[in-house]
């Protein structure tokens, strides 16, 4: 059997036949080592793991898997392998058992010890659906099929692609149809390039109207929830009679927005624009119309926190204007908030539970400033600690609210 070695700082975990499999092979004849690294700076949790797999055709020539133990990228590994032709290495970083980062296949030489150096990994889009891409005059959607296959759809035509091994020094992942007039797409982080039937490659970008996954919409009277994930579409209703469908198809534009038809009995239309839940008055970034067997269900969809993203400048704290020359700002990025509070800089967490918004606890610098800047800062921190929801005003202003009282008003 091939043996697996884990260098510090990684500690080995035993592999059973129920975990990663290695097939019978001669005694190890060489060391293959390298380190998985991402272009971006990311923070892995203690529940992350590294995995490396080497295949020779359909046969697994060697594999390893180990927890990172809190280590961050680059994550080194050493794998003992038999010598042989056609070996291709792929690296994975898993979080809570799910592949989150993935390298392109790396072709190995047939013999001798190998030091691959840094092997670039990119964020992995799970199987099923990837955002629609605008590639110049061409529009494409890319769905993944397993760890080494993809389905590229161009103007209604679907092409099956396979991963193409890249040299270790070349970042990203490349898929190709292998034809003489090759169609290929290269992915590296949030960048993509498409070469269509032997033509020169062009840059691609996510389409502005592409639906981000997972996507959730909900409505009332009767209560319903629509969940759209990479695996498929599911509608649940309080009165029963929900529906399920396969992966999301490309959308079709109409006057009402972008319509997605899943089979003959379920469809939904998404129209970007502020939408308020009729029960909670929570703001959402899109209006959603669900069609189920001729019945129409109205509601809202998307992630409410998307409405907060970006930079805001405070105009008023309570009913008091922020004095000219005192800087109070709020910058929302995912689950974090940061900015200036009148005197110091601050940062903290953003949480959304049901219909409630929570900001903080906040941490920041401790510089002393003269009044009125310190008075503004105290009022600002007091306001943020009391916030329990938010809204977007008629002119696009941000309203941070507690109960029915607006504690802070800001503009972009």
Q: Which of 189, 206, 223 is the last residue of a domain?
A: 206
244 located within any domain: yes
25 located within any domain: yes
Q: Which of 103, 123, 143 is the last residue of a domain?
A: 123
315 and 376 in a common domain: yes
pLDDT tens track, the chain, 412 positions: 333 333 333 322 223 222 333 333 344 579 999 999 987 777 887 678 898 888 776 567 888 888 898 899 999 999 988 888 888 888 888 876 666 787 777 888 888 899 999 998 876 544 333 456 778 777 777 766 545 677 777 765 667 788 887 766 666 788 888 888 889 998 876 678 899 988 988 988 776 556 777 899 999 988 999 999 877 899 999 988 889 888 888 788 777 788 899 988 899 999 888 898 888 888 998 899 999 988 999 999 998 988 998 889 999 999 999 999 999 999 998 789 999 999 999 999 998 877 789 998 899 898 989 889 999 999 999 999 999 999 998 888 999 999 999 999 999 8
- Pairing type for strands 114-123 and 30-38 reads parallel
170 and 63 in a common domain: no
* Spatial separation of the C-alpha atoms in residues 154 and 250, rounded to whole Å: 10
Q: Which tokens in the block code for residue 268?
A: 């939904």
270 and 175 in a common domain: no
153 and 115 in a common domain: no
202 located within any domain: yes
104 and 9 in a common domain: yes
189 and 289 in a common domain: no
CA torsion sign for 237, 242, 245, 251 is negative
Short-list 172, 152, 176, 153, CA closest to 164: 176
- Pairing type for strands 295-301 and 310-317 reads unpaired
SS3 (DSSP) at 378: helix
Cis peptide before 74 (omega within 30 of 0): yes
Number of separate domains in the chain: 4
Widest Cα–Cα separation across the chain:
78
* Spatial separation of the C-alpha atoms in residues 128 and 173, rounded to whole Å: 17
235 located within any domain: yes
107 and 8 in a common domain: yes
337 located within any domain: yes
State which residues form the domain around 382.
308-411
128 located within any domain: no
Q: Are 218 and 301 in contact (CB under 8 A)?
A: yes
Give this prediction's pTM: 0.53
Location of structure tokens 């760890």: 147
- Pairing type for strands 202-206 and 389-392 reads unpaired
389 and 361 in a common domain: yes
* Spatial separation of the C-alpha atoms in residues 300 and 251, rounded to whole Å: 18
| CATH at residue 15 | 2.60.40
| CATH at residue 393 | 2.40.128.270
335 and 382 in a common domain: yes
321 and 385 in a common domain: yes
- Backbone torsions φ then ψ of 88, nearest 5 degrees: -130, 130
356 and 253 in a common domain: no
9 and 118 in a common domain: yes
Q: Which of 302, 337, 359 is the last residue of a domain?
A: 302
* Spatial separation of the C-alpha atoms in residues 191 and 172, rounded to whole Å: 9
Q: Where are the strands (E) in 126-219, listed by range?
A: 133-135, 138-144, 149-154, 157-163, 173-176, 184-188, 191-195, 202-206, 215-219
């Amino acid at each position: 059997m091939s043996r697996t070695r884990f260098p510090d700082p990684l500690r080995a975990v035993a592999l059973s036949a129920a975990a990663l499999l290695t097939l019978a092979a001669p005694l190890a004849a060489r060391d293959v080592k390298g380190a998985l690294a991402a272009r971006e700076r990311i923070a892995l949790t203690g529940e992350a793991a590294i995995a490396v797999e080497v295949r020779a055709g359909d046969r697994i020539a060697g594999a390893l898997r180990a927890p990172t133990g809190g280590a961050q990228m680059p994550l080194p590994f050493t794998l003992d392998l038999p010598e042989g032709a056609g070996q291709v290495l792929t690296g994975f970083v898993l979080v809570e058992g799910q592949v989150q980062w993935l390298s392109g296949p790396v072709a190995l030489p047939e013999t001798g010890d190998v030091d691959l150096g840094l092997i670039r990994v990119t964020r992995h889009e799970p199987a099923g659906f990837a955002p629609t891409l605008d590639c110049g005059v061409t529009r494409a959607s890319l769905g993944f099929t397993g760890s080494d296959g993809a389905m590229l759809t161009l103007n209604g035509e679907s092409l099956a692609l396979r991963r193409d091994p890249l040299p270790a020094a070349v970042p990203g992942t490349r898929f190709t149809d292998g034809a003489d007039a090759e169609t290929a797409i290269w992915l590296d982080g949030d960048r993509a390039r498409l070469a269509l039937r032997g033509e020169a490659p062009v840059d691609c970008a996510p389409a502005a109207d592409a639906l981000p996954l997972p996507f959730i919409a909900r409505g009332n009277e009767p209560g319903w929830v629509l969940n759209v994930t990479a695996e498929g579409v599911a509608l649940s209703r309080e009165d029963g009679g929900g529906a399920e469908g396969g992966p999301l198809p490309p959308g079709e534009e109409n006057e009402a927005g972008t319509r997605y038809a899943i089979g003959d009995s379920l469809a939904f239309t998404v129209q970007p624009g502020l939408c308020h839940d009729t029960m909670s008055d929570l703001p959402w970034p899109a209006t959603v119309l669900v069609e189920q067997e001729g019945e129409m269900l109205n509601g809202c969809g998307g992630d409410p926190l998307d409405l907060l993203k970006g930079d805001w400048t405070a105009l008023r704290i309570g009913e008091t204007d922020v004095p000219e020359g005192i800087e109070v700002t709020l910058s929302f990025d995912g689950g974090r908030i940061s900015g200036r509070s009148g005197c110091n800089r601050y940062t903290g967490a953003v949480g959304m539970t049901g219909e409630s918004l929570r900001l903080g606890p906040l941490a920041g610098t401790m510089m002393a400033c003269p009044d009125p800047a310190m008075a503004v800062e105290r009022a600002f921190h007091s306001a943020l600690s009391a916030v329990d929801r938010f809204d977007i005003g008629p002119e696009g202003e941000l309203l941070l609210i507690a109960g029915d009282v607006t504690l802070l008003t800001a503009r972009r």
